[in-house]
Chain A
Amino acid sequence: MAGQTHDFVTISGTRLELRRGGEGPPVLFLHGGAGNADWMPFMNRLAQRFDVIAPSHPGFDRSDTPDWLDSMSDLAYFYLDLLEALDLDGVHVIGHSLGGWLAAEIAVRSSARLATLTLVGAAGIHVPDVKKGDPFLWTPETLVRKLFFDQKRAEALLAQATSAEAADIAIKNRFTTAKLAWHPRFYNPDLRKWLHRIRLPTLVVWGAEDQIFPPAYGEAWRGLVAGATLTVFPACGHLPHVEKLDEFTAAFAAFINGAAQ
């Protein structure tokens, strides 16, 4: 779909890289630790029905790295500023991985401008006795392989040439991810105490073969957010919105249609 924009906006003094396309109710996509390098195929699909807004968080991609950025709490309040600044209402938030954690942190603070929540392979909580992957010990190549169930996708991604700027951005994204999620590793121990404050229709989406946050995390999220439904895709890794594009967009559409009733 043509017509998406790729631009910069300044929110509360911080310059953000922002992609946006389509018309309809707003969908805010919050990316994970690897950043938001492109207008992705699932965004194209959603843009047929929605106004898809995909910023790069402060500290990621070509966005500023502001001095005030120390924690996920900082990032959550920043996004409340963003929702006001862009005057968005009735927003369908999709958060992936670190972005899923962020979505929950935003929603427990204020859901006033939100309509639904979709958590995809979301970080943010700790599930006892379930071993997570440790991307900080993996080489970049191992990380790519572990993101996908279908190793042909990993091979294809690894075969792509990387520009010098993309290599710099990969390091920047890794630095900011570490700053936000090093310890406690990819979660906030206080978050689960306040998840009852989320009273939005919530969809939890997981890959059955997720090697970073195993599906037990998806089940835990379903139990922690009242009324949440869980959809697990078989033969799928940490990126259901990439690896199971058709199934993901169908599940999201069904969820939104159901939530509207």
Chain B
Amino acid sequence: MRFFCFHLMPYGALDLSWTDEHESAWVTLPNRYYDPKKGFELYNRYLDELIYADTLGFDGICVNEHHQTAYGMMPAPNVLAGALVRQTRNVRICVLGRALPLVNNPIYIAEEFAMLDNLSGGRLIAGFVRGIGCEYHASMANPGQSHERFHEAHDLIVQAWTRPGPFEFAGKHFHIQYVNLWPRPYQEPHPPIWIPSQGSRETIEWASHPDRRYTYLQTFSPIDSVAKYMQQYRDTAVAYGYQPTTDQLGWAVPVYVAETDEKALREAKPHAENFYAKFIKSPLEYRLPPGYTSMSSMKAMIESKFKYSLASPDMDALVSRGMIICGSPSTVVEKLEAYQARLGFRNLISMMQFATLPHELTMKSMAMFAAEVMPRLRSVGEPTGRPVRSMAAAK
């Protein structure tokens, strides 16, 4: 198993009584709730936590992109990736990911990623996402063009990385007369591409296609959904005519480790519950703008009231549904072994800080996870057979 320390960089100083007056932590939560002095402390604290992960022996550290929300303070994740590159030596730098359909010229994303790849000597993992529904309200990008723009921007970026320039790219949404990237990426043929997703058939079919074989990351979901989507990925790959490796699957989940199960659950409980009740929280219309999904997916989601609609997510339910891994080191090892056996992933994207979890507890949990959990799982889920192209450039 490989271990990636993921950070959302939430606005952890959030006044949690915001729910008395507002319906969404996204898009419309007034930014008077944000205090830049607290922001200064939080950004630097969170960077320290990710740098600490490098010294602890994690394989990678991860940032991502969200806009206009207390959920995560990284509208421009490459700014932070740039800071991290210079303060780490060994870890992979993972940007999980940039939201391709939101920009009007994806060349900028190709350039920024190429810069990070050069600056880090080839340590970049490039994540591509469509962005969650809320981003379409925040950016005014048309949700009905989300899939089209994602695919076209992806094609443009990969071509910019791999085709000799200058050349012309003529798409429906992006028509660039001169594509001629300076700098070109450091890794050959290009940085590994990972695809984080909340789970959609379209994305799985696209990511698992033999031309791509991109690592698919299932983000914060109940364990049954995680299992369903990972199985879908394997089935789709087999239907395409090849056996996927464990390298092609990753699972993103909050993790908290403490001395005993009881202590871990007690320490993590308020913060894990805040994550689901105060930070992810937004109404269905915010999360599912029209056209963001296919009509059939939209209908299914409306009918199921969408997966995050836990009425009041309490810690017991979060633990039993696999929406957080929490316990003593041996409990966490057992759980991850069992989940790995069920899900078949190699890449664990552990979110070691969540919502309001304070610095001391975060660092304590990270250290214990690195010392007592990671070594015991290193040999679990290692890929067999031919390595896939997307990871061929891994260290």
Contacts and interface: CB of A to CB of B under 8 A. Distances in A.
Size bracket of the B interface: 20 to 34
B137 interface: yes
A168 B144 contact: no
A76 B337 CA distance: 60
A171 B140 contact: no
Interface stretch (B228-236, B253-261, B282-290, B371-379): B282-290
A42 interface: no
Given A137-B28, A137-B286, A139-B285, A175 B144 contact: yes
Contacts of B298: 171, 175
Contacts of A182: 136, 140, 142-144, 289
A138 B283 CA distance: 9
B141 interface: yes
A201 B299 CA distance: 43
B137 to A, nearest CB: 7
Contacts of B166: none
Contacts of A136: 137, 285, 289-290
Nearest to B172: A70
Contact of B137 (A137, A138, A167, A168): A137
Contacts of A113: none
A139 B295 contact: no
B289 A183 contact: no
B137 A183 contact: no
B387 interface: no
A138 B289 CA distance: 11
Nearest to A138: B285
Contacts of A172: 295
Contacts of A167: 299
B270 interface: no
Contacts of B140: 182-183, 185
A199 interface: no
Contact of A137 (B141, B142, B145, B285): B285
A175 B290 contact: yes
Given A138-B285, A139-B283, A171-B298, A177 B290 contact: yes
B171 interface: no
Interface string A123-153: 0000000000000111100000000000000
Interface string B188-228: 00000000000000000000000000000000000000000
Interface in A102-140: 136-139
B28 A175 contact: no
B291 interface: yes
Nearest to A182: B142
A138 B290 CA distance: 12
Given A137-B285, A137-B286, A139-B284, A175 B141 contact: no
Contacts of B283: 137, 139
A102 B289 CA distance: 23
B387 to A, nearest CB: 40
A139 B284 CA distance: 8
Interface string A170-194: 0110110111001101000000000
Interface string B127-142: 0000000001100111
B295 A175 contact: yes
Interface string B254-297: 00000000000000000000000000000111100111000100
Nearest to B145: A179
Nearest to A180: B144
Contact of B290 (A139, A168, A174, A183): A174
Contact of A183 (B142, B295, B299, B302): B142
A185 B136 CA distance: 12
A167 B289 CA distance: 16
Contacts of B27: 137
A167 B145 CA distance: 23
Nearest to A136: B289
B291 A175 contact: yes
B299 A178 contact: no
Contacts of A168: 295, 299
Given A171-B299, A178-B290, 8 more contacts: A136-B137, A137-B28, A139-B284, A167-B299, A175-B290, A178-B291, A182-B140, A183-B140
20 contacts: A136-B289, A137-B137, A137-B285, A138-B285, A139-B285, A168-B295, A168-B299, A171-B290, A171-B295, A171-B299, A177-B290, A178-B142, A178-B144, A178-B290, A178-B291, A179-B291, A182-B140, A182-B143, A183-B142, A185-B140
Sorted from nearest, which 7 A-B pairs have the closest CB atoms? Answer: A178-B290, A179-B144, A183-B140, A174-B290, A182-B142, A175-B290, A175-B291
